[in-house]
Chains A and B, each alone.
Chain A
């Protein structure tokens, strides 16, 4: 990606200023360097997964965060984009069409958009519950189709393809994960940039207005329904791009890619990251992919922890991770961020110990109940012990109770410090 410097045109503000290009330059450099820092195959696999999820989450947030539409079936658009791309891959291979692999995601995007065009024409008439229910219904319907229309969805095995079908592009055959990484990174940057720019257009701005107050938007000349429709179609396009990249990366697409569980996951990811800011879903996708890949290797209970994290986020941090970060812009401006470190540590360290204690207790109980007969040895936090003895469980419970108690005791102090840090002058440290 090149950020060419352009001269300011007419009296308009310049198209690119250093300050608004900066995040994109940093992102480009970051994406270019990541495989150099983490060159292992497994790391690149995780990063590919992450990048695809980021695109999907950003597309989803065009609905949820920007447009106020809660969809329970958005995986459908990514899934269909993926299926189309595998089919195109196979078709191109069979008939020798000279279609370079890097443009393939565009097909995913167009078909995702096409489906969104059809579904959006009736689902976006109303927001709120009606929209949510229709999205759920359509999601279920298409997931059901995947078992019925085997020619397209491939039944339970799904459809697989071969991304190395065509001519090498500038000598790259996409045999290796690293080649695919750069292809995905390119599409990630392009999609994220386009989605960001979309949010700055008249239709993108009106999506926010309609989210806040659809009735008032109507009295300003905008049909709330059409504003929602255009956001929906754009979101379907980028979801389809993500699907296309998924097809390239995994060379297989199955029903699992478009079912309701997948739709639920993207909602969870987006919410965890924070719907109120453009970069929120990016954080959510990174966090989720890490938890999914790293945590799932460590414990069978990872989905439980994820669920708990989601509930805690909804209840206590509705702004998600991004909201949590943005809560600190004022203290940063007042130069008081430092005053927060102490109080935060005093609360969060015991809190973390409490959480780990609770998790340890859960793991021990889980092991006790589910391990094979006679297998009473388990390893937790690099210590191996007998899960049938009382001591480890007791230690875990004490750590949990003690940690939470200490955290609770320190919490008022933390709140006070936060309040003080948000006051320009004075205020105790």
Chain B
């Protein structure tokens, strides 16, 4: 798998990426190359800038300087919807769904662009069996079939998290970015979601922010450790775990907390 990162072409490349909010620099020069088909985890203490890094990559915020390339293409100046159309889909740390629409509608909407419906006003969504089937299959996968016709806003927290992931993966994007997908889930829910993530990201590129070290070490091909806006280490899980700098800055404390 890691051969992809050394020989294969990169799915995502960050080049001297920086971001300041006012005077404070939050992302302080990040270089990272994530291979096609790689599962990459980004870990680091609270406030390190992990979510900000996601926001820079996906076009939510403009970067102060530096470059982001998706499959070799520069993303500078592109809006989130343009980046999404290039095959990148993300989830949010703070649940970001369509609260007044039904669970089914949430998922169906996330399929529309990816399936080529674009701004069509000549298709009836209810008459597109491919949409209905795909949306129902996703509901089945995220265990929300029984909640199908409820407004998404009334779901429990864990259910909304599952929906968030479902929406992100529905379109079948090639690069999937998940910001703390298991936060707030119980052990069994976490296990289930991790299995699901593993299954649907088969052959795809996954970039994931995660605090649960069990999840990280179970899923990731490579790990980057972000501390105060800088990547202090990148490598295979065992390399990162053994890295004294990482031990000192973050992992020691985090692993202790696990046990």
A interface vs B, CB < 8 Å?
A: 11-13, 15, 197-198, 200-206, 208-209, 212-213, 215-223, 226-227, 230, 234
Contacts of A197 in B (CB 8 A): 124
Alpha-carbon gap, A209 to B111, bound state (A): 12
Binary per-residue interface labels of chain B (64-104) against chain A in the complex, 1 for a CB within 8 Å, 0 otherwise: 00000000000000011100110001101000111111000
Contact at B171–A221, with CB atoms within 8 Å?
yes
Q: Do the beta carbons of B84 and A205 come within 8 Å of each other?
A: no
A221 to B82, CA, bound (A): 6
In the complex, whether B30 has a CB less than 8 A from a CB of chain A is no
Q: Known: A205-B112, A208-B105. Is A220-B84 also a contact (CB below 8 A)?
A: yes
Determine which of A215, A220, A234 lies in contact with B110 in the assembled complex, contact meaning CB atoms within 8 Å.
Answer: A220
Nearest-neighbour CB distance to chain A for B34, whole angstroms, equals: 19
A213 and B90 in contact (CB under 8 A), knowing A201-B121, A230-B119?
no
Specify which of B90, B97, B100, B109 lies most central, judged by the most chain A CB atoms within 10 Å of its CB. Answer: B109
Q: For residue B96, which residue of chain A has the nearest CB? A: A216
Contact B129 A220 (CB under 8 A): no
User: Which residue in A216, A218, A226 is a CB contact (below 8 Å) of B119?
Assistant: A226
Which of A11, A209, A212, A220 counts the most B-chain CB atoms under 10 A from its CB?
A220
Cβ of B127 under 8 Å from chain A: yes
Distance from B107 Cβ to chain A, minimum over Cβ atoms (Å): 11
Contact B98 A200 (CB under 8 A): no
Known: A203-B121, A204-B121, A205-B125. A220 touches B96 (CB 8 A): no
Would B84 and A202 count as touching, CB distance under 8 A? no
Answer yes or no: B114 CB below 8 A from chain A CBs: yes
Complex Cα spacing A230 to B117, Å: 14
B113 touches which one: A11, A13, A222 (CB < 8 A)?
A: A222
Q: How far is the CA of A13 from the CA of B126 in the complex (A)?
A: 8
B79, B80, B108, most chain A CB atoms within 10 A:
B80
Interchain CA distance A216-B84 in the complex, whole Å? 11
Chain B residues with Cβ below 8 Å from A209 are 98, 101, 105, 109
Task: Contact check, B118 vs A212: say whether CB atoms are below 8 A apart.
Answer: no
Contact of B108 among A13, A205, A227 (CB under 8 A): A205
Distance of A426 from chain B, by nearest CB (Å): 23
Residues of B within 8 A of A (CB): 58, 60, 79-81, 84-85, 89-90, 92, 96-101, 105, 108-110, 112-114, 117-129, 167, 171
Majority secondary structure, A binding face: helix
Is B105 in contact with A203, judged by CB distance below 8 angstroms? no
C-alpha spacing A326/B138, complex, angstroms:
30
Q: Please pick, from B90, B100, B125, the residue contacting A202 in the complex, using a CB distance under 8 A.
A: B125
Chain A min CB distance to B78 (Å): 11
A to B CB contacts below 8 Å, 13 in the list: A201-B123, A202-B117, A202-B121, A204-B121, A205-B109, A209-B98, A213-B97, A215-B60, A215-B80, A216-B167, A218-B81, A220-B171, A222-B113
Q: Are B125 and A201 in contact (CB under 8 A)?
A: yes
In the assembled complex, the Cα of A200 lies from the Cα of B60 at a distance in Å of 29
B109 touches A13 (CB 8 A): no
What is the chain A residue whose CB lies nearest that of B112? A202
Q: How far in angstroms is the closest Cβ of chain A from B189?
A: 22
Chain B residue at minimum C-beta to C-beta distance from A230: B119
CA distance A220 to B113 in the complex (A): 7
B116, chain A: closest CB distance, angstroms: 10
Known A-B contacts A202-B112, A226-B119; A212 and B127 likewise in contact (beta carbons under 8 Å) = no
Q: Are A223 and B121 in contact (CB under 8 A)?
A: no
